[in-house]
Amino acid sequence: MPIPTANPLDRLRLVQWLSPSFPIGAFAYSQGLEQAITDGVVTSPASLENWVRAILTFGTGRMDAIFLAHARAPDADVLALADLACAYASSAERMLEMMEQGRAFGRTIAAITGEAQPALPFALAVGHATRGLQVPTEEVLQIWLQGLAAQQIAAAVKFVPLGQTSGQTVLANLGPDILTLAQSCATAPLSALCSVSFGADMAQMLHETMDVRIFRS
């Protein structure tokens, strides 16, 4: 449900910036999902839904949402947050994904707005760029997490492969989880940062050793 205090034009800007068509190269990354598919861990809509829900609830989805929320604070030290985010990166590919997408996002935002953007990990780049948008942080996180889930699902639809309808069904099923997570992460302290998605972290590490691969992570 739309939040009445959000500025309609700012909401449109937010949707544009977090759209899959925004040129950050998100299609090139799978966060280890390609390895999980290769290993037979994700083979169906049900197993994909479980995988993405775990990423959102216990892994990089939750971590990035908390970082993004803190980067939106007017007095946020985004460079210190960037150091912390990099320290939490679980693999070389995770670091590459955060930084490359963050730089691409910042370049495009700078070109659109005329305002220089610092080089930051992707979640922090989004948080910093959306500080001036009159959109509640909870709503920003809803769209951010929806985009992350959609990215993972698109990778599986392409690589398992799964039908488009199955992918859309999985995304719809994750809606309640996304709303709950956005609400909790919008006000979570940095002390709440943690990740227990060991399977996804290991898959991303193993992905670095694949001889033939479609995705960069």
pLDDT at 27: 85
| Mean confidence (pLDDT) of the chain | 93
Does a structural domain hold residue 194? yes
Does a structural domain hold residue 1? no
CA-wise closest residue to 4 among 133, 134, 128:
134
Note the pTM of the prediction, 2 decimals: 0.94
Does a structural domain hold residue 170? yes
User: Mean pLDDT throughout 18-33?
Assistant: 89
pLDDT at 210: 79
We report the CATH number of the domain holding residue 101 as 1.10.4190.10
Q: How far apart are CA 96 and CA 91, in angstroms?
A: 9
Does a structural domain hold residue 9? no
Q: Is the pLDDT of residue 171 over 70?
A: yes
Task: Please give the single-letter amino acid code of residue 129.
Answer: A
Tokens of 171: 């995304």
Domain that holds residue 65: 25-207
Does a structural domain hold residue 87? yes
pLDDT band at residue 4 using 50, 70 and 90 as cut-offs: low
Supply the DSSP string of the chain, one letter for each residue: ---TTS-HHHHHHHHHHTSTTSSS-GGG--TTHHHHHHTTS--SHHHHHHHHHHHHHHSHHHHHHHHHHHHTSTT--HHHHHHHHHHH--SHHHHHHHHHHHHHHHHHHHHHHS-------HHHHHHHHTTTS-S-HHHHHHHHHHHHHHHHHHHHHHHTT--HHHHHHHHHHTHHHHHHHHHHHTT--GGG-----HHHHHHHHHHTT-SS-SS--
The more confident residue out of 165 and 209 is 165
User: Mean pLDDT throughout 186-197?
Assistant: 93
Number of domains in the chain: 1
pLDDT at 187: 97
User: Quick check: 92 and 208 in contact, CB under 8 A?
Assistant: yes
Q: Is the pLDDT of residue 104 over 80?
A: yes
Least-confidence region, from 29-38, 105-114, 204-213 = 204-213
User: Mean pLDDT throughout 105-130?
Assistant: 96
pLDDT at 2: 45
Q: Is the pLDDT of residue 216 over 90?
A: no
pLDDT at 147: 94
pLDDT at 45: 97
Does a structural domain hold residue 216? no
Per-residue model confidence as pLDDT tens digits over 144-166:
999 999 999 999 999 999 999 99
Q: Is the pLDDT of residue 61 over 70?
A: yes
Does a structural domain hold residue 7? no
Instruction: Kindly state the percentage of the chain with pLDDT values over 70.
Output: 98
Q: Is the pLDDT of residue 206 over 50?
A: yes
